Every structure is written in C-alpha cells, then in structure tokens.
Amino acid sequence: MDRVASACRPATSSVIKGARQVSSPQGHRHVATPTGDASCTSSKTGPGANVPELVARVAVNAMHTSDSPRLSGVNDAHVLTLAGAGTDLPPILVHRATMRVIDGMHRIRAAQLRGEDTVEVRYFDGSEDEAFVLGVRQNIAHGLPLTLADRRAAAGRILLLHPHWSDRAIAAAAGLSPKTVGALRRRCSGDHGATQTRTGRDGRVRPVNSTELRKLAGRYLAEHPGSPPTEVAQSTGVSLRTARDLQSRMRRGREPVRAAPPTLTIEENSAGTAPRDSLICAADVLRVLRGDPSLRFTEDGRALIRAFEAQVTLASTAERLMDNLPSHCMSMVLDMAKACADTWRVFAEVIETRERRTRSAADESA
C-alpha cells in the first residue's frame, strides 16, 4: 500500500510533512501537497464524523461521477462562476476504493474549463453508503446550497441506510429540522421506523420511548427511595442524568413523567388547512437566512441571525426552562419575557409595514 493510503487508514494517526510523489490505488501518480502538518482522520461518518485532511493531486480522468445528493445534477452557471473566480479551487473529496467523487463535481468541471488536467483531492476510506452521507454533510456545509427537495431526498435515503440514527442526527447530516425528519420517518414504508433504540449525534444509544423507562425508574425509586442515581440507572436502563432528574422531581412531589401540555386548537385558514408548526417554520427560515450573503457578511445581519438563533433555541427548550425555574425568579423572568415579547412585536410590525410599502411600490412600477 502506498504511503498516502497508509497514512489515511482508519484508526491511524500518522502525520505527513512535506510533498511526496506516490502512487494512487489505481496506479495514477499524484503528489501529496503540504498544508502545514496534514493528517488523516478516520472514515467514520456517523454523528460527529470528520473529513480527511491529507491533500493529493490526481488526474481528472482518474475519477468517476459522484453519487450526488443533487437531484438536478451539476449546475452549469455555478461551474462558470467557479471557473472564472481566478483563485485556486479547494480540494475535492474522493472515495478511495471506487475513485468516485464524494464532493466537488462543480470544481472538477470548473478545472476542466480552465484547461487543468489534475486537481487536488482528499481521500476518504469507508463504504459507499458512508461516502454518500459524507457527501450530503459536505454539500450542506459549503458551496452551492442543496435545495429543500435535495435535502429531503437525502434524508429519506439516510433513513433507509441508518434507521437506528436519531431524528436529530439525520437532521444534522441532511440540513433539515428534526421534526421534518420525524415526519419523513413516519412515512417510510416497512420496518425502518420500528427500532426500539436510536443513536444520537453524540454516539449514545437511547430508547425511542423514554416515557416507559421513566415510569419504570419512578417505580423503582418509589420502592427503593434511598437508592443512589447510579443504582437506579443500572437497574432500569435510564441514563445517570435521567435518574438524577427523577430523584429531584420525586423529592418535590412531582410525577416521574412530565404531564403533556394542553392541546392547542389551531384555527384553519381560508383554504381550510392548518398552518405548519411554527418551530419547524422558524428553523427552516433561519437556515435560509444563515446562507444569505447580504446577512452573513454584515455585522447587523449576523446580529439579527444570532437573535433569531436564540429565539429558536428558547422555543425548543421552553418547557424544560419553565419546569426548572426557581420560584424566587418568576416575577423577574415574567417581566423580562414580556419586555422581550414587546420588542419582537414592535420589530415585526415595523418590518410588516415596510414590506407592504415595498410591495406596493413594486406593483405601481409594474
């Protein structure tokens, strides 16, 4: 095995310094290009996966078309933009075993338009299924954004490949909200949604239905009130953190399982359909705003995005924050919440007024 391949094997921490001329797995010659101390990471593509850092130069005709998450294929306009940029293109990502491009088809086409016959690559060692997931991760992280249809299709395929992954883990890989992934999971045919445990973004395995486990641990604590959290966790299968939370709740006379919030009646609109869940909508809109250059590259734009991020985080954790709010802080938190709500209300009213004026002006000019 050549020296680059040896350096890129999973579970190897070798560091390559300087440029070396070596042979690729298919016999093509390439040069390892120094990027400081370039080191390879493992081929893991589960939650928390990394990308190999070792850079090599490979002939364009030595690689094959990617298994791209883009439903419409290569975007010619984006290729022309990259070709005319006049700067060095970032290395592409290639599956070593098949020499199939994982991420970088637009860059390859741009290099060909420039008349270049070699490009810089990073090799990935893993299965083809792992390569697809990594390609999706890379495409949502940089470059031409994937469309919503692209991301939903990719999430559907990841669900088939990894039904044991949690909704949050798949959402992070595909650039969707966890609730959107949950809806896709429920629509999947067969037994793909029948796993009793799921692996989270942190690699930990958790039960799908935690309510029954909490009830079991609650009964154990009722029968063994002096048991330490470690004993409760080992005896019932809950996490140590959950065992501590249960002990705290039961000391305060609360039930082991939080009561479900009251069901809110959502009025239907004129078309007779209920609006989408506000949190899903907010997460989807926020994702679009994050990718807008007019916001991303200005200080005021970044400040607005940070404010929205804090709001979305609050919406997703509000119940837990309210449950754990000390009683002596309630009055102050109430005042702060009302003040913040008033600020957002005024903000929304001003933006709504400006949007109406802009739309009216556009209609008149048309």
Phi, psi angles (nearest 5°) of residue 285: -65, -40
pLDDT given for residue 105 in this prediction: 92
Question: Do 280 and 180 touch, CB atoms closer than 8 A?
Answer: yes
The 10s digit of each residue's pLDDT in 235-264 is 877 778 888 888 888 888 777 776 554 443
Max intra-chain CA distance, the chain: 76
High-pLDDT (> 70) share of the chain, %: 74
Residue 325, amino acid: L
pLDDT at 266: 37
The better pLDDT of the pair 137, 281 is held by 137
- For residues 298 and 289, the answer to whether their CB atoms sit within 8 Å is no
Residue 135 confidence (pLDDT): 92
Looking at residue 37, what DSSP letter applies?
S
Structure confidence at residue 275 (pLDDT): 37
pLDDT range class, residue 113, cuts 50, 70, 90: very high
Q: Pick the closest to residue 199 from 2, 53, 45, 13 (CA basis).
A: 45
d(CA 185, CA 71): 20
Q: Looking at residue 247, what is its pLDDT?
A: 83
Class of domain 3-141: alpha beta
pLDDT digits (tens, 9 = 90+) for 170-228: 999 999 998 899 888 888 754 444 566 777 777 777 666 667 778 888 888 888 888 89
Measure Cα distances from 141 to 48, 109, 138, 208 in Å: 14, 20, 5, 28
| Tens digits of residue pLDDT in 299-330 | 888 899 889 888 888 877 887 888 888 888 88
Per-residue pLDDT tens over the stretch 280-296: 567 777 877 887 777 87
Mean residue pLDDT of the chain comes to 76
Enumerate the domain spans of the chain: 3-141, 148-199, 209-251, 276-324, 326-366
Q: So what's the pLDDT on residue 237?
A: 74
Q: Which residue from 40, 33, 34, 49 is spatially nearest to 141, judged by alpha carbons? A: 49
Residue 265 has pLDDT above 80, yes or no: no
More confident residue, 335 or 237: 335
- Identify the sign of the CA torsion 330, 336, 338, 340: negative
- pLDDT score, position 34: 26
Read off the pLDDT of residues 48-71 as tens digits, 9 standing for 90 and up.
555 556 788 999 999 988 788 898
The per-residue pLDDT for range 5-62, each reduced to its tens digit, is 333 333 333 322 333 333 333 443 333 332 333 333 344 555 555 555 678 899 999 9
Rounded CA-CA distance 68/154 in Å is 9
CA-to-CA separations, 233 to 195, 227, 243, in angstroms, rounded: 21, 10, 6
